[in-house]
Every structure is written in structure tokens, then in C-alpha cells.
Structure 1
């Protein structure tokens, strides 16, 4: 994932609303969200490394991942970041216990969101002490949680406006919150150690180019009873004009 915005405990009826974009090279093979045969997980799957970017365990825990972008880093990761999500969902460990087991130097830069009954937590290579999220609207892209990049500030405003008029949440309406193709002006671009051309391309909520872009979007609607609707929108890619919408209804843990 490269952009996540979520409303945590902003509604008594809907303790978690989340929408996220996954950006990746078009040529990288991927399976859409499904129940894995080898692990108790509902998630999409990266067929190159075998991990995932967002998923739900069979016992109702959530995990989601974004890369931390640092073009100046010379770190050579030993393992794929996607394992951080799939390993957590495949084990019954509590979120904080799992956080203590992570070997940060073994992975490239990452941000990780984990939930269990005790709460919703954030940590990453540049924020290694897990932090329990407070109720509010939170955004996460390729920097620290709630870093005010143009795309995250837009997503935050969009979520605020949506909540102010929401009667019943809708997956397609949530998707619109992070569908803007507008790019940031040069003076507003972050400096993450990559070229200005790439910074510009990556500055929109929804990314499009000849070789890299937003491959899929996911919405999560969790109500106070633990009923969860997960919808994945797989977007058309070059030479594959068909879109795909996959929806699952399941039980999930409502984090405290």
C-alpha cells in the first residue's frame, strides 16, 4: 500500500472505516484478495515474494503495510516487507508481542498497522516503538503516520467531509476519497531522495504512468458488532482493460 486513510472511532456505529491504494509496477504478478490455502488469511498476494500489503486473519485481526520511501538508503533487505503482514496474520500473537519480535534491519523501510482486541497500533523502521492510535482520522503514505504531504492532507480533508455527511458508509463512495489524479506543485513535493519526475508522479492519490501506478484499492467497513465488509477494486492496467470488484463479508475484531 502507498496511501491509507482511516477514520478510527469517529462513529459509534462504525468504529473503523478504511480506504487504501496499492501502488506497484504493472508487470509484478499479483493475485486479488482471496482466502489463502496455506495460511488462515484473507488478502491479496504478491506472487514475486509471496507476501501481502493488507489483510484480515481468520480470527479477525487486521494488518496493513506501506513502504517508507528513502532514496538515499543503501540498506539491502534480507526479507520482503510483505512478510510482515502475512506472518502477523498467520500467527495468534498479540499485536504488541509481534512488534517486539520484528527485526527492523532485515527489511526495507516500512510502516505497519496492526490491530487486535487491545487496539490499533502503528510502527515502522523510522518509528520502532509501537504507538496505539487515538480516535481520529489518520493518514499513512510513504513517510511517518500523519505526515502532511499534499496527498495525505487531501485524503484527510476528504474523509472529514465524508464523515460530516455520512448516513451509511459505502465502499464506492469511500473509494472516491483517494481517487484524485491531481499532482502536487513542484514547491509542495517532498524530498525523499528520488528524482523530481518520480516525486511528481507519486504525488497524486491515484497514480498513473506507463509502467507504474495504482493497481488496486481496498475499503474496510467495520461496524460495532464486528461485521466487516472488505471490498477490493482491481483497476484496469495497460493491455488489461477489465476491472474487478471483489467483496467479502466476515467477522472481525473491533479494536478497543
Structure 2
């Protein structure tokens, strides 16, 4: 589970600005923000599946992913984190990449994927769980967008709170340079939760309540229906019986921001949770190579 808010092609200085929280088990092996072995790509890595939830390249390719909240899944599905990895390491345009993977998206559990090429001003949203009548692939329009665990810009209360908080910060800072780190702290650490009538009612309400804040910190939760949670929790973390307990803490493991300026300067910031429950910061800065946006 994750939540992201982003600004696309609608600011004079920032063609792209993204804030993203990654929610995951605290004990899931994860590598913090760094340059990868190819020397071209920067991001964190999931050391269990081998993929990533967010990455960027020196040539201005960006990809990020969220899981889709649903009541069924299959354990032999392909790793969703492989999808942003494949785009970042390919040379295909966002549209061509989306066309390429359409034949295989049924092999994955529910996902939302955004892929972008900053230089060509192209951003595509891909999902294998479209709303009724919607397309699998959609070109993202300029403006502010929020992506959580339903379709892009779904009006979940946490998404609306995030949109409004982000919009307020943009208006406060006008057309000048943004204090990105301060902005991240303002909107992405919000712990306000929803009451039962406002929950999406996909999972049991006691779990959805814990997941209804922008910044998630959930203790071990007792659940009456283990089969509902295979998207969120791997099969081997559930104890079957009349009631089951999810083993281990779950919540926001990292807060990330990518800002890209009109002259191609990229700042990738991450604050992530260490094993000792301390928070550590990393920042990578570079200029998109061989391109003028």
C-alpha cells in the first residue's frame, strides 16, 4: 500500500513534483534510496521481490507504483515491483511500454502504475483494475493528481485531504522555488484517520481504520477473515483459524519526494525508517543528461 500526490506540467518552474509514502511491513527487507548498479537509475529497492515502488533515471524517466485494494488475489502472481523496474531500464516511450505490458497485466495482482518521460512531456497511468467503462491505459492530464489504492484520483477521504493539503502548499509558495523538504513534512506525516462511515469498505473496518491516514502506523491487528488480505499481507504472515493475527508492525516505511525543475535539475529526497525505529534521510541530486526540458 502507498499514497502519492503529484503535480504534472502545470507549474512554471516544476514540470514534475511528487510526494510518495510507501507503506509496508517494518520487517520486510528493503534497500534505501541509492544509485543502482547500472549507474543510470536511482531509487529504493524491495529486496524480497527485487523490484521498486519508485525510481528515476538520469535521462528523466520516472515510474511509481501502488497496490490496488481488493478482496481476492492469487499467490503465484508476478511481482508488481518489477513493472516500474522494467520501464526505467527500457528505452520505450511511456505509451509504447504501456502497449507492451497490456498482454500480461492479468498475471499480476491489482496495481496502479504511472510511467513518465519528463523530456517528452509524456505521462501514462496503467491499471489492471479499471473502473467500469474506464481504460487500462490513460494519458495523465496536467494538474494535481492523487494515487492511493484505488484508481487514479479516486475520492477516498485520505486522498482528498492530501490533495487539499498539497494544493494549499502550492498556493502558499506561488511560482517560486519550493521548500520541498518542509512541504513533505507538512502533508505526508498527517495521521488523521477516518470514521467507519467514510471508509472504502473493502477490508474489515478495524483494519481500514488503521490504513485511513496519509501516514500509517498500525500495530498487530486481529482479523476475522484472513483470505481478504492476501494483497496487503503475504500468505505466510497469516495464522488461520476463527480469528487470525497479522504478525509484525505495518505502516509507512519511507517518505519520498522527487522534484524536477524546468532546466532539468532533479532532487530525489527520501526519509526512511531504520531497523532501530530511527528515521534517516538521503538525497540524490543530478541534472537530466543531454536534454533541455
Query: TM class, shorter-chain normalised?
Result: over 0.9
Gaps of 5+ in 1: none
Contact 1:119 1:255 in 2 (8 A): no
Q: Determine the structure 2 residue equivalent to 1:29.
A: 29
Q: Determine the structure 2 residue equivalent to 1:113.
A: 114
- Counting only pairs closer than 5 Å after superposition, residues 172-191 of structure 1 correspond to structure 2 as 172-175=181-184, 176-191=186-201
Return the alpha-carbon distance in structure 2 between the equivalents of residues 66 and 9 of structure 1.
22
Q: Determine the structure 2 residue equivalent to 1:69.
A: 69
How much does 1:251 deviate? 2.6
The TM-score with structure 2 as length reference comes to: 0.81
Residues 9, 178 of structure 1: CA spacing in aligned structure 2 closer, same or farther, 3 A cutoff? same
Q: Determine the structure 1 residue equivalent to 2:180.
A: 171
Point out 4+ residue stretches in structure 1 off by more than 6 angstroms. 253-256
Contact 1:229 1:248 in 2 (8 A): yes
Contact 2:264 2:292 in 1 (8 A): no
SS in 1 for 2:218: coil
2:81 aligned with 1:82: yes
Return the alpha-carbon distance in structure 1 between the equivalents of residues 254 and 73 of structure 2.
29
2:212 aligned with 1:203: yes
Return the alpha-carbon distance in structure 1 between the equivalents of residues 24 and 141 of structure 2.
30
Contact 1:231 1:247 in 2 (8 A): yes
SS in 2 for 1:120: strand
Return the alpha-carbon distance in structure 2 between the equivalents of residues 174 and 108 of structure 1.
33
Contact 1:174 1:219 in 2 (8 A): no
Contact 1:217 1:233 in 2 (8 A): yes
Larger Cα Rg: Structure 1 or Structure 2? 2
Return the alpha-carbon distance in structure 2 between the equivalents of residues 33 and 249 of structure 1.
12
How much does 1:145 deviate? 0.3
Residues 141, 132 of structure 1: CA spacing in aligned structure 2 closer, same or farther, 3 A cutoff? same
The TM-score with structure 1 as length reference comes to: 0.92
- Counting only pairs closer than 5 Å after superposition, residues 1-256 of structure 1 correspond to structure 2 as 2-37=2-37, 40-71=40-71, 73-102=72-101, 103-116=104-117, 117-127=120-130, 129-166=136-173, 167-175=176-184, 176-192=186-202, 194-210=203-219, 211-235=249-273, 240-252=276-288
Cα deviation digits, residues 194-250 of structure 1 (max 9, x gap):
21111101100000023100000101111111111110011356xx13211100112
Number of aligned residue pairs: 252
Residues 252, 143 of structure 1: CA spacing in aligned structure 2 closer, same or farther, 3 A cutoff? farther
Gaps of 5+ in 2: 220-248
